[in-house]
Amino acid sequence: MAPNVAIVGAGFGGLCMAIQLERAGIRSYTVFEKAQDLGGTWRDNSYPGAGCDIPSHLYSYSFEKYASWTRRYPEQPEILGYLEHCADKYDIRRKIRFGTEVRRAVFHDSQWRLTTAPDAGDERTETFDVMVLGVGQLNRPRLPDIPGLSDFTGVSFHSARWNHDHDLTGRRVAVIGNGSSAAQFVPRIAEQVERLHVFQRTPNWVIPKPDATFGPLPRLAFRFVPGLQRAYREWIYRYAEATLYPALAQGWSAGLLKKRALRHLRDQVPDPDLRAKLTPDYPPGCKRVVIDSTFYPALVRDNVEVVTDKIVRIRPDGVETTEGLREADTIVYATGFLSTDFLAPMEIVGRGGRSLREQWAGRAEAYLGISVPNFPNMFLLYGPNTNLGHNSIVFMIECQVNHVMSCLPHLTAHGPIEVRPAAMAAWSRQLDAAMDRMVWGGGCQSWYKTPEGRITNNWPGPTTLYRRLTAKPPLPAYQPVADQAVRDAGL
Ligand code: NAP
């Protein structure tokens, strides 16, 4: 009999899982989504200019190619439209329980007991054979630890919770943060506001985004020329793998990446003082490289100031730095996400009453980024060490979903399965060894790292290797729970 599957989250990960179950003829699943709509990060991040710096034809499912992309790099409304198209085509919406947060999941009696909290109504408990968690890494906005946040008397919001009711025309705006999100919305709002102060704590490397539109002709070609979409997608994928990955692995293209970023800065920022402010002192890729051609031109505008003085506090009327006050009536916090606190705030309790939070103890790890010892029949999508700085996360998600699909026959045949502790330990050793050669380790602080400096978010290998590893048959890395329980008991 097909297992009963709970999927948590209706973003790229959860939808991919649901679609593959549908395609396999497994209809015994439920998707829990705490919001009222699907789309995950592409529902939440609706700030002006929100989009993806991975090309459209690669930032989509391989099994659901889409000839309708209107740009080389997709903007948020189009990505959300794509996900809605997928949900509709595979008839997933009927299986999504919107407005229902999963608060707690306990493995008991060979099943996962989920406590769910609907927006309207009381908590409920339901049981499932399998739990797949597709909640993402960048789903909880992080506000900065600056004193006085609540003293501000103007309007403030996080970039991932954009206040569309607040018209920025003629406003004095402070933006705190200068990562990929700020780089996308600053150019859009700079023309509209009276004054814009961009507070930069650390400069980022920026490289151009060679965006272009796809007119009717290329779109027709993508639709009707056999193999064109596949070949184009494959070309973008191979290019990123062959040129960008070696830069992050401090290989042959690292110097080229730096040269390209410095040339971009030189071309777009004529003022040497501003250029100096914007030049990082760590290697490109250590923090996520910003891919954007409009950020620097926005920063050189007369009504825009890049502030590098240390912020002291937020005051009722603006942002105070060591050098004085920048008055503002609006503050946008582009300060990123609580990225290393995987699966929070869900409470997950595995075999023998083990708490996942306690087992991880601030350092999330999972075999293939997917499975955790002591947590049988539980699978993570976009879990620990599966983020990329150079290629499409959707590719990684598909690898993970394929792996989960290959586990299903085993757990159906043998009862709950879990990853062997030895397989987990070997995986962690291999990750550590591979991590040593990557650029993320030294010289910068980033959302890839725990406060202790451990990189819990990024995958350190080529994605071709990840595909190979996740495509391997899951056994013998997994074992039936019954076997491990016998071992635990020392029998
Ligand atoms: P982020 O990269 O984490 O950037 C947060 C910014 O806030 C940084 O500039 C950080 O400075 C600053 N900050 C945080 N706390 C601060 C404080 N107390 N005082 C002053 N500054 C502070 O966040 P993000 O821009 O939202 O991007 C997150 C990730 O989302 C990206 O790296 C990317 O992976 C993804 N994203 C992707 C796209 C895309 O096109 N694919 C677009 C947007 C976002 P420091 O650098 O000094 O810490």
pLDDT tens per residue across all 491 residues of the chain: 899 999 999 999 999 999 999 999 999 999 999 999 999 999 999 999 999 999 999 999 999 999 999 999 999 999 999 999 999 999 999 999 999 999 999 999 999 999 999 888 899 999 999 999 999 999 999 999 999 999 999 999 999 999 999 999 999 999 999 999 999 999 999 999 999 999 999 999 999 999 999 999 999 999 999 999 999 999 999 999 999 999 999 999 999 999 999 999 999 999 999 999 999 999 999 999 999 999 999 999 999 999 999 999 999 999 999 999 999 999 999 999 999 999 999 999 999 999 999 999 989 999 999 999 999 999 999 999 999 999 999 999 999 999 999 999 999 999 999 999 999 999 999 999 999 999 998 789 999 999 999 999 999 999 999 999 999 999 999 999 977 666 676 65
Burial of 156-174, coded b for 16+ CB within 10 Å and e otherwise, reads bbbbbebeeeeebeebbbb
* Residue in this structure with the two tokens 């993970």, named with its chain if needed: 400
Domain positions in the chain: 5-140+338-488, 149-213+219-333
**HEC string of 40-105?**
CHHHHCCCCCCECCCCCCCCCCCCCCCCCCCECCCEHHHHHHHHHHHHHHCCCHHHEECCEEEEEE
Q: Are 411 and 417 in contact (CB under 8 A)?
A: yes
Is the CB–ligand 1 distance for residue 335 below 6 Å? yes
Burial of 142-154, coded b for 16+ CB within 10 Å and e otherwise, reads bebebeeeeebeb
Q: Is there a cis peptide before residue 345, judged by omega within 30 degrees of 0?
A: yes
Is the CB–ligand 1 distance for residue 58 below 6 Å? no
3-class SS of residue 464: helix
3-class SS of residue 22: helix
* Dihedral in degrees, nearest 10, Cα atoms 202, 343, 353, 110: -150
Is the CB–ligand 1 distance for residue 183 below 6 Å? no
Is the CB–ligand 1 distance for residue 447 below 6 Å? yes
Q: Separation of 355 CA from ligand 1 center, angstroms? A: 30
Q: Which of 46, 201, 331 to mutate to test the pocket of ligand 1 (most atoms within 8 A of CB)?
A: 201
* 375 exposure class (CB count in 10 Å sphere: 0-12, 13-18, 19+): buried
Which residues does residue 133 pair with via DSSP β-bridges, in sequence order? Answer: 8, 380
Q: Which of 288, 299, 314, 445 to mutate to test the pocket of ligand 1 (most atoms within 8 A of CB)?
A: 288
Cβ contacts of residue 246 below 8 Å, gap of 6+?
252, 253, 254
Q: Separation of 201 CA from ligand 1 center, angstroms? A: 11
Is the CB–ligand 1 distance for residue 146 below 6 Å? yes
Is the CB–ligand 1 distance for residue 181 below 6 Å? yes
- The residue contributing the CA closest to ligand 1 atom 16 is 144
* 202 exposure class (CB count in 10 Å sphere: 0-12, 13-18, 19+): middle
Domains 5-140+338-488 and 149-213+219-333 share a fold: yes
In 3D, which of 401, 316, 300, 429 has the Cα closest to residue 29? 401
Angle, helices 463-471 vs 393-414, to 10°: value is 10
CA distances from 364 to 132, 245, 300, 361, 459 (A): 16, 24, 41, 8, 13
Which residues does residue 131 pair with via DSSP β-bridges, in sequence order? Answer: 6, 378
Q: Are 233 and 56 in contact (CB under 8 A)?
A: no
Is the CB–ligand 1 distance for residue 307 below 6 Å? no
Instruction: Identify the CATH assignment for 149-213+219-333 out of 3.50.50.60, 3.40.140.10, 3.90.1310.10, 3.40.30.10.
Output: 3.50.50.60
| Backbone phi, psi, residue 202, to 5° | -135, 130
Q: What is the architecture of the domain spanning 5-140+338-488?
A: 3-Layer(bba) Sandwich (3.50)
Q: Separation of 411 CA from ligand 1 center, angstroms? A: 40
Q: Which atom of ligand 1 is nearest to the CA of 145?
A: 18
Q: Are 350 and 356 in contact (CB under 8 A)?
A: yes
In 3D, which of 67, 7, 43, 108 has the Cα closest to residue 408? 7
Q: Is the dihedral of CA 456, 460, 462, 467 positive or negative?
A: negative
Distance (Å, rounded) from C-alpha 181 to C-alpha 198?
12
Q: Which of 56, 175, 180 to mutate to test the pocket of ligand 1 (most atoms within 8 A of CB)?
A: 180
Which residues does residue 127 pair with via DSSP β-bridges, in sequence order? Answer: 113
Q: Separation of 178 CA from ligand 1 center, angstroms? A: 6
